[in-house]
Amino acid sequence: MAGRLTLKVFTPERIVLDQEVDQVVARAVDGELAILPGHEPLLTALAIDILRYKVGRDEMTAAVMGGVMEVNNNEVTVLSDLAELDTEVDEARAHQDKEKAEAEKIQKADKLDVYLTEMAISKSIARLKAVEWSKRRRSRQRAD
């Protein structure tokens, strides 16, 4: 399985990532999957979570707010309404957004409003998870 993957992450506003990588790990709506060079073609819906990707020994993350992922000919393409690299996430703002959404959820009675606040909470959690992975990575790099 020699070779690399080309990972591309797109949102309607921008190209978040276009990079050669060794591995991609993503959470689809029906479970987590790892993509290595030579993977069979695949199209799957993504959950709101982090996308991890490795380049050599380094592992980076991006918060991906759902979307779809296509794998074909060693190219992994992610289309999402919103995605942020771990280095772009404002941790303080993500904490504030999560707390605000949790407070709003308690006050909501309408099912749609509850669902929307749950989505906001999930998005904040994904951002915070990306930050946490980034902190762990930097900590491991300092230890090496």
- Nearest 5°: the CA angle 129, 93, 133 is 20
Give the pLDDT mean for 46-75. 93
Predicted confidence at residue 20, as pLDDT, reads: 97
CB 56 within 8 A of CB 81: no
Bridge-based pairing of strands 83-85 and 75-79 is unpaired
Q: Is the pLDDT of residue 1 over 80?
A: no
Residues 64-95 pLDDT 10s: 999 999 999 999 999 999 999 988 777 777 76
Paired with 67 in beta bridges are: 46
pLDDT, one tens digit per residue, over 92-142 is 777 677 777 777 767 777 777 777 777 777 787 788 788 787 777 777 666
Lowest mean pLDDT among 11-15, 23-27, 116-120: 116-120
Rg (CA), the chain: 16
| Size (the chain), residues | 144
Kind of pairing, strands 5-10 and 15-21?
Answer: antiparallel
Take residue 24 and report the two structure tokens written for it. 């991609």
Mean pLDDT (whole number) for 43-48: 95
